Structure 1
Amino acid sequence: MPNYTGSLGFGEKYVKKLLGQIGSLDIQDCIATVCHLVDLGISSNGAGKQFLSGGSHGGFILGHLIGQFPDVFSGAVLRNPVVSLGEISTSDIPDWYYEESGLVFSAASVVTPEIYQKMFEMSPIAHIDAVVTPVMLLIGEQDKRVPNTQGINYYHALKAQGKWVEMLCLKEDNHSLDSVEGQRISYEATKYLYDTVRLTKK
C-alpha cells in the first residue's frame, strides 16, 4: 500500500492536502505506484497479474482504480468500501465524509442536492459504467462506520450491468470484519477470486 496523499507519515499538512481532492490525489498516487513498480521490474502488467484488496477508504481507492483504470487490474476484493460519499445517513463519522469532500460539517448539516452532487462526482460509483474488473464484495452487516447499503447498492449496480461481481454479507461482523469467522471467510473469498481469475486468464 503506497503512502498516498492524505495518509499518515508526512505530517498534518500532507494529511490535509487530500481534503476536497479525495478520489483524485490519492488515486493518482496509487496508480503512479503501480506503474513505478512495473517500470522497476518488481511487478508486471497483463491478464492475471495485478490484483487489489482493501477496505473502508482502501475500498474507496479500489473502486476508483477499477473505474478509472479498468484495463489494469484483474481482480478486486472490496471490504466494507466507501463507494458513495453522499450516502451517510447511518454512519457514525458523517464529519469524515464532509471534510474529505472539502465541505464544512456541523451537527446541523444536511446533504442537499448540491452537496450530494459534489460527493457523487468524487465517489467510485461515478465510474461504475467503466468497471470490467471482477469484483468480490465483503460486507459486515453490523458496520456502523460505512453504511452497508453502499456496498450492497454497488453490487446490484454492477450485477444489473452484467458485470462479474459476487458479494458475501457477514451477519455478525462490523466494519473491521475481524471476527475469527469473518477473517476466515475474507481469506477464502479473496483466494477464490484470485484463483478463479487466474484460471480464466490462462
Structure 2
Amino acid sequence: MIVGGIEEIRLDEAANEMYVADSYLGGRVMVFDMTTFAFKRGWGAYGHKLSDITTDDADREYTPGGPMPKEFRGHLTLNFSDDGLVYAADRNANRIHVTTKDGRFLKEFIIAPTTGIGGSTGGVAFSPDKPQKYLFISDLTNNHLWFLNREDGRIVGQMGSMGENGGQWYGFHMIAVDSKGNIYTGEVFAGERVQRFVPAESPKGKLLEQLSRLQ
C-alpha cells in the first residue's frame, strides 16, 4: 500500500481502527488495524473505491466557484462523529465529504466556493453537545472559523479575520474542541501559534446558545 503524504490520523479505539487522511493521488481515506497496522479498507471522493481512483489530472481540476472535481484535489483532513460518520475536508476544493465508516458517500458540503489557492476547508471539529449538532471548520485562506449545521452543512455563523492579534489568525490551519467547549486553533505561516478560545459563562451552554442565535 503506497502512502504518499499523510495529513491526519484519527483513532477509533472502540473498533481498534486507525483512519488516515493521505494526499497521494489527490487524497484518500484509508483505514488500518490499530494493532497490526494491516490495511483494511479505503476510499476516495464520493466513496470511490481505491482501485477506481483515476490518475487523470483532469479529474482533479477545479476553478473556484465552478463544478466540483471528480476526485479529491488535495490536503485532505478528517474526523469522525460519535454517530459513526466520517468527515473528510478536501481543502483545495473548498468542500467536505460525509461518508459512513465503510466509505459509503452521503453528503457534500461546500464552504466559500470562490476561495482560491489554499482553500477554505481545513481541520474538522465538532461542537461539545451530545448530538454534536455543529461542525467547526478552520479556513486557512480566509482565516475564518466556520460554524455549520452538521445535518445539512448550512453555515450558521463565522468568526475571526486575518491578522496577528489575539482572536485573529494568520494561516489558520487546524482546530480542536474539548469536552468543555474550549476551542484550540493552530496557525502556520506568519501565525505559528496556538490560541485557546474559552466560552463565556457555561463551557457548553453559552457557546451553543450563541450558535443557535445565528441560525
- Relative to the length of structure 1, the TM-score reads 0.31
Instruction: Point out the structure with the larger helix share.
Output: 1
Instruction: Point out the structure with the larger strand share.
Output: 2
Higher relative contact order (CA 8 A, sep 6+): 1
- Relative to the length of structure 2, the TM-score reads 0.30
